[in-house]
Structure 1
């Protein structure tokens, strides 16, 4: 794609978007900024979390572009918490491992799977607040999920997730869409790339086919429909922690 704006130009209002990254690590920030400029509203975002205040998916959240979030972590995003508790945002919280597997399953064509995570809790039994009313009561609650015994152990059924679009960030990629992610930025990016009907990858270092060792590829190009070169994308640290020098009390 020529630029990020072209890459997301056909994302319609109401689309579901799976976004890779974890907090500020490995997020497709160029594509998120382009979605903001594009102006699509009522989005259903599937991501580990919703960015931070004023950064990443938090930009779309503050602009009231997101209607629903499927995530495993609210984190330190105060705007996310405010909108959720104030009834402005629908949120489906899911155990982190289950969310990862739901994305992987959707990308692999698996409609559902069973897991022990969440058994005996509102994850399985239902009643988790998806949307609050302005007065603080629960307007929409999660439904109960089917459970089944396997060898005497109870498991809950989780559905696979697919999305209309997926946006991911890779350190290295080729023009055929083969992608390599750097270190912990690998997080949810490969899973989101698999789950998208149309997957858009922003790539820091873009090379020609054959330059990447096939054994090094994390996501093969069969899952990727659009590639964008972003050599100078901004990166941020979500939390910086330092310690006093040795010998200083």
Structure 2
């Protein structure tokens, strides 16, 4: 099956109000900017976004928040740079957006668990802090732990280096941050790739197999691997 699509807009129209979206990347690197730019134009609302960071005011994940499309953010880093508040922080203070902030290891493990079908796991990270408040606790092998539930989503928007027409994907640099595990944890995965290939990728180059990929879009980004 050829998973390449000419129109990102047609694919992104499947994202409805209230959807949970996972967005790959780290800071502004490895982010699927072509997909996010066109999603912003479509303007679904009441979205939950799962993204590593919303600290960059000029990033497209932040732009979705500014456009009043997002009702909840699940992230590892929410404080912007500088003394002033970002638009996200202003909305957070006004109660317009809900925030769930997680340690980065817990963030990635909750996503991995979602993709692996593991409903929850115990971790000592966050025990006795505000991050652990309201969560079930248990002492395991002498360590106090909190229960963390798996994270899953409706759509994963993923940046990649190249993909073959069947949906096998190869990543570059920061694209590996969260991209592969987010693809496994979501019902529908849309990959934005710098190169879309007619011939199959060599097995040794495949970092995300086609079984986890639903649609492929060619990226409009010129520098896509950092």
TM-score under structure 2 length normalisation: 0.90
Deviation at 1:75, TM superposition (A): 4.1
Deviates more, 1:43-52 or 1:170-179: 43-52
Moved more, 180-189 or 76-85: 76-85
2:161 counterpart of 1:171:
yes
Q: Tell me if 1:150 matches 2:158.
A: no
Structure 2 distance, partners of 1:123, 1:94, is 7
Instruction: Decide which of 217, 221, 226 is 1:233's aligned counterpart.
Output: 221
Unaligned runs of 5+ in 1: 127-143, 239-249
Q: Which residue, 28, 41, 51 being the options, matches 2:45?
A: 41
The structure-2 alpha-carbon separation of the partners of 1:28 and 1:76, relative to structure 1 and needing over 3 Å to count, comes to same
How many pairs align? 218
Distance 1:22 1:2, change over 3 A: same
Aligned to 2:76: 72
Whether 2:193 is the aligned partner of 1:189: answer no
- The match for 2:110 among 98, 102, 117 is 102
Q: CA deviation at 1:81?
A: 1.5
Kept in 2: contact 1:54–1:62 (CA 8 A): no
Distance 2:55 2:216 in 1: 22
Which of these residues, 53, 56, 70, is aligned with residue 52 of structure 1? 56
Q: How does 1:3-152 map to 2 (within 5 A)?
A: 3-50=7-54, 52-76=56-80, 78-124=86-132, 126=133, 144-152=134-142
Determine helix, strand or coil for the equivalent of 1:50. Answer: coil
- TM-score relative to the length of structure 1: 0.82
Contact persistence 1:50–1:56 (CA under 8 A): no
Q: Is the 8 A contact 2:54 2:80 kept in 1?
A: no
Distance 1:119 1:187 in 2: 25
Q: Which has the higher contact order (CA 8 A, sep 6+)?
A: 2
Shift of 1:58: 1.5
**Which has the greater radius of gyration?**
1
Gaps of 5+ in 2: none
1:149/1:42 CA distance change after superposition, 3 Å: same
Instruction: Give the stretch that moved more between structures: 64-73 or 82-91.
Output: 82-91
- 1:203 aligned partner: 193
Q: CA deviation at 1:51?
A: 6.0
Name segments (4+ residues, structure 1) moved above 6 Å.
Answer: none
- Aligned-residue offset at 1:54: 3.2
